[in-house]
A and B are shown apart, each in its own frame.
Chain A
Amino acid sequence: ETGVTQTPRHLVMGMTNKKSLKCEQHLGHNAMYWYKQSAKKPLELMFVYSLEERVENNSVPSRFSPECPNSSHLFLHLHTLQPEDSALYLCASSRVTGDYTFGSGTRLTVV
């Protein structure tokens, strides 16, 4: 499989649940990103991993916890989320200085 693959495509979770989003890329890229897309807002960069090391955390609440076990996989662990965290979560990858390729996203609804 090529490109950036995100699972699941849709997720509904309660505020006390723990869930994880998964992202996988087979492009040979060495940087991976999590973005949050809410209605009527620009895409917000959440986390950046470069060469498997977290290089940026844009003041994201601790209820979001990223994990990058290797250069092909990126996870976003979710715990005790709030309804305002409902959004489309997009994963992207790139070479360190290259164009970004995005996955199709996970549509998250917190109830």
Chain B
Amino acid sequence: GQQLNQSPQSMFIQEGEDVSMNCTSSSIFNTWLWYKQEPGEGPVLLIALYKAGELTSNGRLTAQFGITRKDSFLNISASIPSDVGIYFCAGQGGATNKLIFGTGTLLAVQP
């Protein structure tokens, strides 16, 4: 079945640092989504990408849909303590439009 490899698994950084995480897939997706999940809550959509090569920003967050349609990355610039959480990539495609999730990147930001 389809699998998404997300890395790194966790990151422990200082406030103000930039962060980069990525997802790769064994199959092609039509849409890449990036979600953030905080403790006790469901995932919240950060950025949606619909076209290969697309680069989209949301404040300090920037994400790109890879040209091969098998990968995506998320960058966070000038991290702040409230960026703490688990970040998930998700790929969407196929006849059922099923959303497949990566394993998540745990981000911890030290003030």
Binding site for B on A (CB under 8 A): 4, 6, 31, 33, 40-43, 45, 48, 55-56, 90, 92, 94, 96-97, 99-105, 107
Number of interface residues of B (CB under 8 A): 22
Residue of A nearest to B95 (CB): A55
Binding site for A on B (CB under 8 A): 4, 31, 33, 35, 40-45, 48, 88, 90, 96-104
CB distance from B67 to the nearest CB of A (A): 22
Interface centre among B31, B41, B42 (most CB of A within 10 A): B42
Residue of A nearest to B50 (CB): A99
Which DSSP category, helix, strand, loop or mixed, fits chain B's interface? Answer: strand
Partner of B48, one of A4, A56, A99, A102: A99
| Chain A contacts for B43, CB-based, 8 A | 43, 90, 102
Q: Offer 29 A-B interface pairs, CB within 8 angstroms, sorted by A.
A: A4-B42, A6-B42, A31-B97, A40-B103, A41-B103, A42-B4, A42-B100, A42-B103, A42-B104, A43-B88, A43-B101, A45-B98, A45-B99, A48-B96, A55-B96, A56-B96, A56-B98, A90-B43, A94-B97, A96-B97, A99-B33, A100-B90, A101-B45, A102-B35, A102-B44, A104-B40, A104-B41, A104-B42, A105-B42
